[in-house]
Amino acid sequence: DTGVSQDPRHKITKRGQNVTFRCDPISEHNRLYWYRQTLGQGPEFLTYFQNEAQLEKSRLLSDRFSAERPKGSFSTLEIQRTEQGDSAMYLCASSPAQPGYGYTFGSGTRLTVV
């Protein structure tokens, strides 16, 4: 088990471009989460999947953001028309369905919008 994998680790993009990040959770985990973290702050919840169903989206997730988890396996987070304020670390985590387990986080994708 290699844990939660995120790709790429770093992404630099120009303002206005679209970017897509990928997350591969632990294979037996059916819950998957996306968080965003800006410098000096704790991570903030963005969205949550149980299997392929997206069950909640934070108000932080504007309509430029979309997340998918086809077939309940890997997930993608796309940001359209990026803005400088989107610069942050995007973290993915997964957990089993049974309550009480801690989450396993990936190492994140650091996005810099120039």
Smallest distance, other proteins to C-beta of residue 33, A:
7
Structure tokens at 84: 């400088």
Smallest distance, other proteins to C-beta of residue 16, A:
27
Strands 75-79 and 65-68 turn out to be antiparallel
Smallest distance, other proteins to C-beta of residue 3, A:
9
Nearest CA-CA partner of 92 in 1, 2, 6, 18: 6
Which residue number, 3 or 16, has a Cβ lying nearer to other proteins? 3
Which residue number, 80 or 110, has a Cβ lying nearer to other proteins? 110
Smallest distance, other proteins to C-beta of residue 25, A:
12
Strands 109-113 and 10-13 turn out to be parallel
Which residue number, 49 or 86, has a Cβ lying nearer to other proteins? 49
CB-CB contact of 5 with 24 (8 Å) = yes
Q: What residues line the site for other proteins (CB under 8 A)? A: 4, 31, 33, 35, 40-45, 48, 55-56, 91-93, 95, 99-100, 102-108
At residue 70, φ and ψ (nearest 5 deg) are: -65, 135
